[in-house]
Amino acid sequence: MDERLDVRPSPLAGRWYPANPQVLTQRIDEYLSAALPPAVEGEIVGIIAPHAGHQYSGPVAAYAYALLQGQNFELVAILAPQHRPYFAAYVSSAHQAYETPLGIVAVDHEALGVLEKHLQREVGESIKRVWADEEHSLEIHLPFLQRVLGSFHLLPIMIGIDDPRRLKALGIALVEVLRDRQALIVASTDLSHFYPQPLAEKLDREMLRRMEGFDPLVFLQAEIEGKGFACGRSAVAAAMWAARELGANRIRVLHYATSGDVTGNYHEVVGYGAAVIYRTPQS
C-alpha cells in the first residue's frame, strides 16, 4: 500500500478494541474459535452484526464472521447508522483508506462514484464525503473482516434516514455496484438499548423474528409500533432490499446475547444479534 495514501486514522483503537495488533488478533481469534454457528447451505450474500465495543458485542459478531472464514470477497459494502448528525441521507469517507492496528483497508471510490450516480438518478441525492469521522458502527467491523478475509476493498456507507423509499433506492443502487463482483454486504446494528433484561429479550426476539422474515418494510415498522428496536434498522432494511435483488432468499439468526451477559448488570442492557443473509440452492 502506498505510504502517501490519505488514511483515516482509527479513533477506536485502544478504546473500543485493543490497539496492540497482536492482542487484537488474539482476541478476535478467541471470539471466532468460541463461536459455533450452524452450517449455511447456500451462498452467503451478507451478514448482520452488532457494533458495540468488541468486549461486549465481539462474541456475538463472531458467529457471523466465523461463517466467512475460507470465503473470498474482494469488495465489502458496510451499511451502518450515523450516530452523529451529518445532515445527509448517505455519508461516506473522504479518505482513501481506513486504518486499524491490523493494517490499511482501501476505500473503493470508483464503486462509491457508481453508487452515487444511481442514487442521484433514483432519488436526486448525493453521498456526502466527510473527513476524520468518529463513527464506530462502521469501523468496529474492520478488524473482524481483516482477520477472516485478509485483503479486500471497502464501500463504506453511513445512513442517516429512516425513509423506506430512499432506503430501498440505496439497496437497489448497491445492486448495480455489487452484482458482477465478489461482494459481501455487512449491515451494522445493535438491538434494544437500556431496558431491563426480560423486556429487552422480548423486544429483541420480535426484532430478530422480523429480521428472519426478510421483509424490510415489516422490519422497519417494528419501531414505529413500539414492538422492537434496532439503532441500525435502516442499514438492515437497505441490506435486505439489496440482498433480495441479488438473489438472497433467507436470513438466519445465528446468536443473541446482551451486554448483561458480559457485565452482569441486567437492569439496563443492550441487545446484540448476529445473522447471515444467503441464497439457498434452487430445487
Q: Do the domain assignments include residue 254? A: yes
Residue 3 is predicted with a pLDDT of: 58
Domain around 201: 7-279
Residue 137 is predicted with a pLDDT of: 98
Q: Do the domain assignments include residue 180? A: yes
Q: Do the domain assignments include residue 189? A: yes
Q: Going residue by residue through the chain (283 aa), what tens digit of pLDDT does each one get?
A: 455 789 999 999 999 999 999 999 999 999 999 999 999 999 999 999 999 999 999 999 999 999 999 999 999 999 999 999 899 999 999 999 999 999 999 999 999 999 999 999 999 999 999 999 999 999 999 999 999 999 999 999 999 999 999 999 999 999 999 999 999 999 999 999 999 999 999 999 999 999 999 999 999 999 999 999 999 999 999 999 999 999 999 999 999 999 999 999 999 999 999 999 999 987 4
Number of structural domains (the chain) is 1
By DSSP bridging, strand 97-100 and strand 7-8 are parallel
Residue 1 is predicted with a pLDDT of: 45
Strand order in the sheet with 103-106: 7-8, 97-100, 103-106
Q: How would DSSP label each residue in 129-191?
A: EESS---HHHHTTHHHHHHHH-S-EEEEEEE----HHHHHHHHHHHHHHHTTS-EEEEEE---
Q: What CA–CA distance (Å, rounded) separates 154 from 264?
A: 36
In the DSSP assignment, the letter for residue 67 is G
Q: Do the domain assignments include residue 1? A: no
pTM score over 0.85: yes
Q: What CA–CA distance (Å, rounded) separates 111 from 183?
A: 11
For cell 446468536, the residue is: 255
pLDDT per residue over 187-203, tens digit each?
Answer: 999 999 999 999 999 99
* CATH number, residue 24: 3.40.830.10
Q: Do the domain assignments include residue 2? A: no
Q: Do the domain assignments include residue 29? A: yes
Contact 146, 105 (CB under 8 A): yes
